[in-house]
Chain A
Amino acid sequence: MLIPLIAGHRDRNVIRTASLSLTILASALMAVPAIAILLGGDPVAITAYAPAGLFSIGFFIDKLAAFFILIIAVVSACIALYSIEYVKHMEGESRRNLFCGCMNLFIFAMVLVVASANTIAFFLFWELMAASSFLLVMYEYDGRGTARAGIFYFVMTHLSTLFVLFGIILLWVETGSFAIASLTGAPTLMVTLAFLSLFLGFSIKGGIIPFHKWLPYAHPASPTPISALMSAVMLKIAVYGLIRFLITVFSPELWWGILILVFGTISGVLGVIYALKEHNIKAMLAYSSIENIGIIFMGIGLFVILSAADLPLLATIALLGALFHSLNHAIFKSLLFLTAGSVIKATHTRNIEQMGGLIHRMPKTAGLFFVGSLGVAAIPPLNGFASELLILIAFFTSVTEVEPLVKVLLFVCLALFAMTSALTTSCFVKAFGTVFLGMPRSARGENAHEVKALMLIGPGILAVACVFLGLFALQIIVWAGFSVPMPDMLLVGLLLILMLVLTYVALYFTSPRTIRVSDTWGCGAPSQKAGSEYTAHGFSQPLFMIFSSLYRTQITNDREFYDEPRAIFKSGTAEIRLLKVFEEYIYLPIAMQFRRLATTIARIQNGCLDTYVLYVFITVIALLVFLGWSV
């Protein structure tokens, strides 16, 4: 699979096709044992490298690891299939070999993280995942904004790695072991710090607000298959890490769950609110991912709260909801990213305001995007609805069982969760409507045409998976050995179809049969133009006004005058812009402080030999003093 890396500068498409075909094969081979373990097979333990001492590299695949390996396998196979055609149209010629090789390395690293049996292996492969994904983000290194996105991603991903490492070290200090094994007794201060550190590390990687800012930069800057892989799979590795440490290592306390739930809820709500204002299709999908990871964190937080409240059955439902939503989000988000990539390839723009009318030029892509939109908007009977329903059931059932203060918190989170779902629907109505419906808003939209078959088959499989996972949600959960109080989605689906048929029949027989062909009324204009269509901005305007306090606009007004009393106006500029709240109030001030600190520290290295000899002199004196005192 790493053949393209070995091939170097030889720009042969056959090498890349062979490599990506092998990726599909390897994904299929990975999926088979993963399914076997999920259906009750024995866990697999492999020791890869075990020299004497503490350090060893080992793998352990239980049901949880198998589940996430299955997610990686399914999504990677579809993305690889899509990439066979996509890579032919990429810029960079021989650089495309590097792209294929790094993509395979990235997938491989994610599988190894999930399969790691100890924290050393976990950390090593986590870093490999971060490094290979950074190279992929930087693929179009000369593109506008790519360098900024790359640096943002590099800093944030390594901040995440740093916190994960810190958590691992704290666990080692507590236990003296690098094994991912259960801790006995109530959490000590060291264990609590380890949890907080790991939580921060996984939150940064998962894009939880306020650590999310790398996502809306990195996703649009990356090639489409990488955006899809990062959003659909890599974010789930962070989810896996959090769940793995929570259920295998720690004995979580109630406040841990509250912390996870609160961060999840904030991410869910703000993620979709920010998605609403985005008109860059990839950035919008990135914000939607933040929202969905927020929902998954809500499920995990609820699981911890209910476990601490000694309600194991409800806790299991919450965790199942979180896990099932991880799978579903991986499926529909990769589908949405791939179809968005097809649209971008056809129109050469990411701005949805310049699209429109693509349903006539790219009907198959439009159909696939529609299925993905239904999935992400949690419309029954698709998969997004099934998993969100599980989390909602856990919420509804548990609010009567927990103590009053927690009850209040759960009610608030439940209300916000419901609002999130409604806003997501609105967001994707806007996205689908602006991109595919109406008339083309630019020449780019007019000249677009449908993509090749291979770029439809991969997303097509994912679309079928969306429907399948939705309709057979209950059956899948029962096959996995769990019992949940949720309706049979197959029946719900059939009822919905029946309702649609009945509505059609009723309309067919009651509506007048005369057919009238005319333009839509356009305020008296003789003919309709694309410019008079409802825009994405216009669609979002009411929501903009409702959430204006969250968006935080800034009005700048610079004027120059000819005279001192400022009476005769010369020139001026006025601007209303949306503030990048987190970037301008959190990230940049912190970055500035670090810059100041770095400037101060840099003075130590002043390039003067005398100063360096002085450092040696001071060190020798310090050593002498230390030696005298320590003896």
Chain B
Amino acid sequence: MIDPIIVTDLIRVFLVFIIITAAYIISTRNLSSLVTVYAVQSLALVFIALLLFQIEGSTTLLAIAALTFTTKVLIIPHFIGTIQEKIRIKSDIQFHFLTPIKSLFLSVVLMLVVYITFVEIMDGASAPDDLFFFGAVIGISMMLMGMMIIFSRKRALTKVLGFLSMENGALLFGLFITELPFMIEFLVVIDLIILVLLTTILIVGLDSTIEDYHERLQRFHLWEDDLP
């Protein structure tokens, strides 16, 4: 057994790490590194779930860790990574409403607003330096940062990653405050996989069938069958 104090400190480290990955997802213009960062963020969540299992001993946390690892660290990043290799677009430099720098500043303000709101809501039920309080604040902040990515980026792929990041925030909040039933978490993950599948269609056009979609990708030279 690891010392609980070390476990707590480790969780704090991973939480900070998650904030850094979220900040990176908001600010980067490089599409290819986005998926890797998302996978790393998800991996950090897996570690947090495992460390929380050390403290609480609930097997659901183990199941969540396994599910997150399989889907968010392996399947989804692999799938998006494959698409990215095929699609010629490598960077995202088109923004709506907010530039990456403004988004970063806004993220800091958001975290403060969420922190103050939670201090007011909890009102002594949980100390501000409590680990669970900290996790919940970061979870909600991540959700909002993910939403910010959705409306501030024009590329569909970045939007999807924003949505995935939002879901990671929801999972983080669930891990620390109101643990979601495992079945719901499982269903959410299935939704995410379907979302990623549909994204491939959304990127080119909603009106295309799968066959038509492939043809269109070929026609616009957006798909490379014979990669070097």
Chain A interface (Cβ < 8 Å from any Cβ of B) = 608, 610-611, 613-614, 616-617, 620-621, 624-625, 627-629, 631
**How far in angstroms is the closest Cβ of chain B from A626?**
9
**How far in angstroms is the closest Cβ of chain B from A612?**
8
Cβ-defined contact, A621 with B110, below 8 A: yes
Which residue in chain A gives the minimum CB-CB distance to B116?
Answer: A628
- Report B-chain residues with C-beta under 8 Å of the C-beta of A610: 96-97, 150-152, 154
Q: Which of A613, A616, A617, A625 contacts B117 (CB 8 A)?
A: A625
Beyond the given A625-B113, A627-B121, could you list 16 further A-B residue pairs with CB under 8 A, ordered by the A residue number? A610-B150, A613-B147, A613-B150, A616-B147, A617-B144, A617-B147, A617-B148, A617-B151, A624-B114, A625-B117, A627-B120, A628-B113, A628-B117, A628-B120, A628-B121, A629-B120
A490 CA / B154 CA spacing, docked (Å) = 87
> What are the nearest 4 A-B pairs in CB distance?
A628-B117, A613-B151, A610-B151, A628-B120
In the complex, chain B residues 152-172 whose Cβ is within 8 Å of any chain A Cβ: 152, 154
- Report A-chain residues with C-beta under 8 Å of the C-beta of B114: 624
**How far in angstroms is the closest Cβ of chain B from A603?**
15
Known pairs A624-B113, A625-B113; A611 contacts B151 (CB<8 A): yes
Chain B interface (Cβ < 8 Å from any Cβ of A) = 96-97, 110, 113-114, 116-117, 120-121, 123, 140, 144, 147-148, 150-152, 154
A625 CA / B97 CA spacing, docked (Å) = 22
* Pairs A–B under 8 Å by Cβ, sample size 8: A610-B96, A617-B144, A620-B144, A620-B147, A621-B144, A625-B113, A628-B116, A628-B120
- Report A-chain residues with C-beta under 8 Å of the C-beta of B110: 621
- Report A-chain residues with C-beta under 8 Å of the C-beta of B152: 610
Cβ-defined contact, A627 with B96, below 8 A: no
Interface centre among B117, B144, B154 (most CB of A within 10 A): B117
A627 CA / B113 CA spacing, docked (Å) = 11
Which residue in chain A gives the minimum CB-CB distance to B147?
Answer: A617
Cβ-defined contact, A614 with B151, below 8 A: yes
**How far in angstroms is the closest Cβ of chain B from A617?**
5
Which residue in chain B gives the minimum CB-CB distance to A617?
Answer: B147
Which residue in chain A gives the minimum CB-CB distance to B143?
Answer: A620
**How far in angstroms is the closest Cβ of chain A from B186?**
26
Which residue in chain A gives the minimum CB-CB distance to B110?
Answer: A621
**How far in angstroms is the closest Cβ of chain B from A470?**
74
- Report A-chain residues with C-beta under 8 Å of the C-beta of B117: 624-625, 627-628
**How far in angstroms is the closest Cβ of chain B from A613?**
4
- Report A-chain residues with C-beta under 8 Å of the C-beta of B113: 621, 624-625, 628
Q: Which of B97, B116, B121 contacts A614 (CB 8 A)?
A: B97
A625 CA / B109 CA spacing, docked (Å) = 12
A625 CA / B114 CA spacing, docked (Å) = 8
Which residue in chain A gives the minimum CB-CB distance to B114?
Answer: A624
- Report B-chain residues with C-beta under 8 Å of the C-beta of A631: 120-121, 123
- Report B-chain residues with C-beta under 8 Å of the C-beta of A611: 151
- Report B-chain residues with C-beta under 8 Å of the C-beta of A629: 120
- Report A-chain residues with C-beta under 8 Å of the C-beta of B96: 608, 610
A621 CA / B116 CA spacing, docked (Å) = 12
- Report B-chain residues with C-beta under 8 Å of the C-beta of A627: 117, 120-121
A614 CA / B162 CA spacing, docked (Å) = 13
- Report A-chain residues with C-beta under 8 Å of the C-beta of B151: 610-611, 613-614, 617
- Report A-chain residues with C-beta under 8 Å of the C-beta of B116: 628
- Report A-chain residues with C-beta under 8 Å of the C-beta of B123: 631
- Report B-chain residues with C-beta under 8 Å of the C-beta of A628: 113, 116-117, 120-121
**How far in angstroms is the closest Cβ of chain B from A622?**
10
**How far in angstroms is the closest Cβ of chain A from B31?**
18
**How far in angstroms is the closest Cβ of chain A from B109?**
10
- Report B-chain residues with C-beta under 8 Å of the C-beta of A625: 113, 117
**How far in angstroms is the closest Cβ of chain B from A250?**
46
A628 CA / B114 CA spacing, docked (Å) = 9
Interface centre among B114, B148, B151 (most CB of A within 10 A): B151
A625 CA / B113 CA spacing, docked (Å) = 7
A616 CA / B162 CA spacing, docked (Å) = 15
- Report A-chain residues with C-beta under 8 Å of the C-beta of B144: 617, 620-621
**How far in angstroms is the closest Cβ of chain B from A611?**
7
A440 CA / B117 CA spacing, docked (Å) = 85
A91 CA / B200 CA spacing, docked (Å) = 57
A617 CA / B109 CA spacing, docked (Å) = 14
Which residue in chain B gives the minimum CB-CB distance to A613?
Answer: B151
A631 CA / B124 CA spacing, docked (Å) = 13
A628 CA / B121 CA spacing, docked (Å) = 6
- Report B-chain residues with C-beta under 8 Å of the C-beta of A614: 97, 151
- Report A-chain residues with C-beta under 8 Å of the C-beta of B147: 613, 616-617, 620
A628 CA / B123 CA spacing, docked (Å) = 10
A613 CA / B148 CA spacing, docked (Å) = 8
- Report A-chain residues with C-beta under 8 Å of the C-beta of B148: 617
**How far in angstroms is the closest Cβ of chain B from A608?**
8
Which residue in chain A gives the minimum CB-CB distance to B109?
Answer: A621
- Report B-chain residues with C-beta under 8 Å of the C-beta of A621: 110, 113, 144
Which residue in chain B gives the minimum CB-CB distance to A608?
Answer: B96
- Report A-chain residues with C-beta under 8 Å of the C-beta of B154: 610
A617 CA / B162 CA spacing, docked (Å) = 13
Which residue in chain A gives the minimum CB-CB distance to B122?
Answer: A631
- Report B-chain residues with C-beta under 8 Å of the C-beta of A613: 147, 150-151
A601 CA / B49 CA spacing, docked (Å) = 47
**How far in angstroms is the closest Cβ of chain A from B130?**
18
Interface centre among A611, A616, A628 (most CB of B within 10 A): A628
**How far in angstroms is the closest Cβ of chain B from A433?**
69
Which residue in chain A gives the minimum CB-CB distance to B123?
Answer: A631
A628 CA / B112 CA spacing, docked (Å) = 12
A616 CA / B113 CA spacing, docked (Å) = 17
A549 CA / B82 CA spacing, docked (Å) = 81
- Report A-chain residues with C-beta under 8 Å of the C-beta of B120: 627-629, 631
- Report A-chain residues with C-beta under 8 Å of the C-beta of B150: 610, 613
Which residue in chain A gives the minimum CB-CB distance to B150?
Answer: A613
**How far in angstroms is the closest Cβ of chain B from A609?**
8
**How far in angstroms is the closest Cβ of chain B from A441?**
64
